[in-house]
């Protein structure tokens, strides 16, 4: 606990209202850390796009047009802003109320809040939720890291490394409410894949594993790229897989906990991999490409297996070794390293560093 309660303003991602799954992993992170900060006695206000459905937390809903998702743009694309931008509107609101808060926390992976930092009277902590995708964003992140040391926060060292920063940054890892996940000792003969269905997540490799091993694959997550999904279905007409849609955390963990393993087949440097710690919390081993955040979460041979990136034979071999993993070890690693308690400690440490406590 910091010496005194902090007054915190959390400004959400502009790609979708909270509760729709459009915000991907950063939505879950925001929810978890907001809950934990309130539990610790801090005052909290969340600012998010209209139609957010988080009734259990204090959300100011801001109208305006959503931002294009950064991963759909080219590295050299100029920064784009729609007319009546919800991102601009959220930050205009933050400007107006900043005097009521000790610290503002930015959850958007966007240029504007970073550029606005020196214009604000209150410090802004930036949680960067993905690896490097855009030259313009990389540059403004480096600029803020230089001008405002330790205000840039990442989820993993691999993610931070994609930005080539000399300056100081803070590594938060991530965390979940482990009590929402139920341990399962005796899984069914099935595998899980959870994530936004979009090319950077490499779903086709997991389906190839299902085809080769004849182990049914349960797919969960937001169907973000329909043409990509149709392409996969055409390429693997007979593979044993079932798409269950975008499920709530409790519905998702009900399915994942009964699986022999979670497969992580991402093409890009996954900033962290929330689904990995969610699976571990259910006692489910994680088989992941040795790439990005999951490589800092999975203990190879202990809580799952790290596989040579993009190697389907590597994934298949790891599936054949699953009986070497003790499912209790998976649960224990979630409880010690990735609990809300552990996450809250890291965020408070970050806030105190920024506020020079």
Contacts with ligand HBI, residue ranges (CB under 6 A): 13-15, 23-26, 67, 69-71, 108-110, 129-130
Instruction: List, as one string, the DSSP characters of 70-83.
Output: GGGS-TTPPP---T
Which C-beta is closer to ligand HBI: that of 13 or that of 253? Answer: 13
Residues 26/107, Cβ–Cβ less than 8 Å: yes
How far is residue 22 from each of residues 69, 92, 326, 342, measured CA to CA in Å?
Answer: 9, 23, 34, 26
Question: Which residue in this structure is represented by tokens 């950063």?
Answer: 26
Distance of CA 253 to the CA centre of its chain: 16
Minimum Å distance from CB 185 to ligand HBI?
Answer: 31
Q: Nearest CA to 264 among 329, 332, 222, 217?
A: 217
Name the residue nearer to ligand HBI (CB basis): 106 or 151.
106
Nearest distance from C-beta of residue 100 to ligand HBI, angstroms: 24
Q: CB of 200: closest distance to ligand HBI in angstroms?
A: 10
Residue 129: name the closest of 100, 99, 102, 160 by CA. 160
CB closer to ligand HBI out of 50 and 235: 50
CB of 281 to ligand HBI, least distance (A): 19
Q: How far is the CB of 27 from ligand HBI (least distance, A)?
A: 7
Q: Least distance in Å: CB of 158 to ligand HBI?
A: 15
Question: In the complex with ligand HBI, which residue's Cβ is closer, 70 or 276?
Answer: 70
Which one, 24 or 283, has the nearer CB to ligand HBI? Answer: 24
| Closest approach of ligand HBI to the CB of residue 165, in Å | 18
Name the β-bridge partners of 306. Answer: 288
Query: How far apart are the C-alpha atoms of 171 and 337, rounded to whole Å?
Result: 13
Closer by beta carbon to ligand HBI, 90 or else 354: 90
- Give least dist CB 112 to ligand HBI, A: 10
Report whether 350 contacts 172 (CB < 8 A).
Answer: yes
Residue whose Cβ sits closest to ligand HBI: 24
Distances (CA, A) of 82 to 13, 15, 56, 70, 166: 15, 12, 30, 14, 33
Which lies closer to ligand HBI via its Cβ, residue 71 or residue 89?
71
3-class state of residue 218 by DSSP: strand
SS3 category, 160: helix
Instruction: Tell me whether residue 127 or residue 315 sits nearer to ligand HBI (CB atom).
Output: 127
Reading across the β-sheet that carries 124-127, which strands appear in turn?
59-62, 43-49, 7-11, 103-106, 124-127, 152-154, 170-171
């Amino acid at each position: 606990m910091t010496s005194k309660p902090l007054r915190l303003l959390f400004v959400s991602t502009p790609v979708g209202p909270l509760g729709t799954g459009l915000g991907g992993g950063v939505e879950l992170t925001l929810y978890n850390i907001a809950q934990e900060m309130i539990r610790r006695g801090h005052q909290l206000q969340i600012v998010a796009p209209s139609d957010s459905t988080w009734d259990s937390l204090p959300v100011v809903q801001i109208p305006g047009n959503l931002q294009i998702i950064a991963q759909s743009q080219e590295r050299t694309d100029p920064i784009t802003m729609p007319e009546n931008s919800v991102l601009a509107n959220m930050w205009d609101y933050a400007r107006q109320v900043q005097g009521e808060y000790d610290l503002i926390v930015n959850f958007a992976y966007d240029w504007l809040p970073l550029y606005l930092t020196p214009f604000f009277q209150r410090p802004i902590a930036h949680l960067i939720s993905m690896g490097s995708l855009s030259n313009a964003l990389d540059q403004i992140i480096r600029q803020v890291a230089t001008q405002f040391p330790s205000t840039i926060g990442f989820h993993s060292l691999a993610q931070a490394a994609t930005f080539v920063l000399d300056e100081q940054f803070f590594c938060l890892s991530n965390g979940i409410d482990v009590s929402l996940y139920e341990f399962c000792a005796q899984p069914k003969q099935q595998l899980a894949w959870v994530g936004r269905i979009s090319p950077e997540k490499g779903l086709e490799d997991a389906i190839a594993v299902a085809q080769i091993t004849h182990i049914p694959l349960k797919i969960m997550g937001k169907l973000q790229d329909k043409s990509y999904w149709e392409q996969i279905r055409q390429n693997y007409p007979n593979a044993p897989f079932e798409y269950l849609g975008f499920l709530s955390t409790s519905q998702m963990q009900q399915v994942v906990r009964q699986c022999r393993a979670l497969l992580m087949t991402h093409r890009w440097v996954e900033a962290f991999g929330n689904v990995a710690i969610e699976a571990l919390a259910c006692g489910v081993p994680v088989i992941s490409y040795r790439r990005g955040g999951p490589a800092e979460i999975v203990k190879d041979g202990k809580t799952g297996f790290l596989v040579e990136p993009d190697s389907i034979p590597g994934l298949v071999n790891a599936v054949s070794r699953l009986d070497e993993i003790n499912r209790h070890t998976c649960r224990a690693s979630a409880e010690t390293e990735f609990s809300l308690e552990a996450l809250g400690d890291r965020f408070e440490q970050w806030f105190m560093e920024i506020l020079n406590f």
